[in-house]
Amino acid sequence: MEPDAAYLYASGLHALEGRGLVDVGSMASWSVSSNKPGYGVIALRKDSPDTYWQSDGQQPHELIIRFTKLVAIERISLFLNYYTDESYTPSKIAVFAGSGDHDLIKVLQVEFDSPMGWRHIKFTGCSKEGVLKCHVVKLVFLANHQNGKDSHVRAVKVMSMGNHIQEGGEEEVGFTSIKFLSESIIR
């Protein structure tokens, strides 16, 4: 029986928020190496497990996320659905990071086996703070399940640690909503 994608999507986001993580992806410029018409970055960034980016061309496929300021990324979370996408589901992803396109270095590589739901690429070993500090992140989709050619990725969240409550006097206002926290990380 196929798992309920909508439930997995919502409960996974709730779990991330419960860890004090916020999605800073809205502060970035997103681009892909290729896409089928109607299945580009807009479909990927739509907050839904029913839409997806579909690459179009030879592997490897790339997703590039550019920030104007230095960000501290705790993890990148991808929503994948092997039960629906089968051979379109990525199985091997390399992550590159740097201050610009000119100095990207490979940070790590991950493999997924029949993923259903949120899968997390954590950067705990990248620094003593447990975060990846960079301006640019590039995800390179090296292989798919069943040797598939094009990739489907249903959602990507770039997660950073949020500041839940500001310490200080009683006059300070603690903005704790996800929207406020996502806008307060980079100053």
Give the count of domains, the chain.
1
Omega cis (within 30) before 3: no
Q: Which two tokens stand for residue 166?
A: 């500001």
CATH code, 164: 2.60.120.260
**Contact call for residues 99 and 135 (beta carbons, < 8 A):** yes
Q: What is this structure's pTM? A: 0.85
Residue reference for tokens 């992806």 = 25
Which pLDDT tens digit goes with each residue over 102-153? Answer: 999 999 999 999 999 999 999 988 888 899 999 999 999 999 999 999 999 9
At residue 167, the pLDDT reads: 38
Q: Which domain holds residue 164?
A: 5-184
Q: Which two tokens stand for residue 127?
A: 């620094």
Burial 110-142 (b: 16+ CB within 10 A, else e): bebeebbbbbbbbbeebeeeebbebbbbbbbbe
